Amino acid sequence: MSTIPSEPGHDRSEPGLSVLLGERRQLTNLAYRLLGSLAEAEDAVQETYTRWYGMSRQEQEAIESPGAWLTTVAGRICLNMLGSARHRRERYVGTWIPEPLPDRTEWIGGRAGGGRSEPADPADRITLDESVNMAFLVVLESMTPAERVAFILHDVFQYPFAEIAGIVGRTPAACRQLASSARRRVRAAQAPPVPKAGQAGLVRHFKEAWEARDIKALVALLDPDATMIADGGGLVGTVLRPVEGSMPIAQYLIHIADKVPNLTLLERTVNGTPGLIAQRAGVTMTVAAFSLSDDRVTRIWAVRNPEKLRAWTEHEPR
């Protein structure tokens, strides 16, 4: 698993403003992977900085590594948020899907940060790699909060178990066990890799078949045991239970195309992998992420909850 480096060029020995701001990207990357929500990640990062500035100058100067302190505090905040999020998601209308992220290079004006060294939009601070693809984030949702924190900190961010122990409140040996358990979950859920070019081509064919309302072509592109999950959060209409099987999914997609004849489909990168967005009158209504295996679509995650699409609606795509 790849690592997400901190911002370079800062002297960690001094708790100056540049050091603190330089850690924001790292903290946002960590919090998003732990929480699966951009809004919650930003809340966690803001709370981390609030606690830093709530200390006296003398207390701040006594901290040998401000970056390590910020990471520890952010990890603990995320751990607590994960516990409360479980209860909220049990009451969620339909299935909760992690918040999808756009690739700003595909949008007008490039990155939303306007060329500044530290972008204003938290979505621009997320490094898009294999640790944020939707399939990976969905597996993380099946983990306990402690498993998730231990695994992400160790396998993605390369933190030693001795430091992770101080965050989750367990021994280093227990943290090693947590990460190992989480790793087994990830490996069990992994599909055979499909080359990036093949992914884009498959998603393009899927889009074309959907636009043409070609049910036979859609069925051929879907794995017989494929599953489609939608997330409307009770705020917009959508199917509340998973749609299973290639034919039922194809029929549902054709139904949607007939119901909304002026829907525009666009190929866009979703969480670092090829996906689709559906727009109506230029407004993004749905973001679809895919899991692919053996030239077939095995999973579709369709996010329709408008609260999870804010990063997609602030800027018009090309």
Domains, the chain, with CATH or none: 19-105+130-189 (1.20.140.160), 196-312 (3.10.450.50)
Q: DSSP character for 191? A: P
> Would strands 264-270 and 283-293 be described as parallel, antiparallel, or unpaired?
unpaired
Provide the residue type at 177 as one letter.
Q
- Give residue-wise pLDDT tens across range 281-305: 889 999 999 999 888 999 999 999 9
- Give residue-wise pLDDT tens across range 156-167: 999 999 999 999
Q: What is the mean pLDDT of residues 221-235?
A: 95
Average the pLDDT over each of 31-35, 132-136, 236-240 and give the range with the smallest value.
236-240
Residue 305: partners with Cβ closer than 8 Å, 6 or more residues away: 231, 232, 233, 235, 236
pLDDT recorded at residue 119:
59
Q: Residue 262: pLDDT band by 50, 70, 90 thresholds?
A: confident
| Distance between CA atoms of residues 148 and 142, nearest Å | 9
pLDDT recorded at residue 113:
40
pLDDT recorded at residue 7:
42
What secondary structure does DSSP assign to 58-113, as a single string? Answer: HHHHT-S-HHHHHHHHHHHHHHHHHHHHHHHHHTSSS---PPP-B-GGGBTTSSTT
Token pair of 146 as six digits: 């402690």
Return mean pLDDT, the chain. 87
Is the per-residue pLDDT at 2 higher than 60?
no
Q: What is the mean pLDDT of residues 7-33?
A: 71
Average the pLDDT over each of 51-60, 65-74, 116-125 and give the range with the smallest value.
116-125
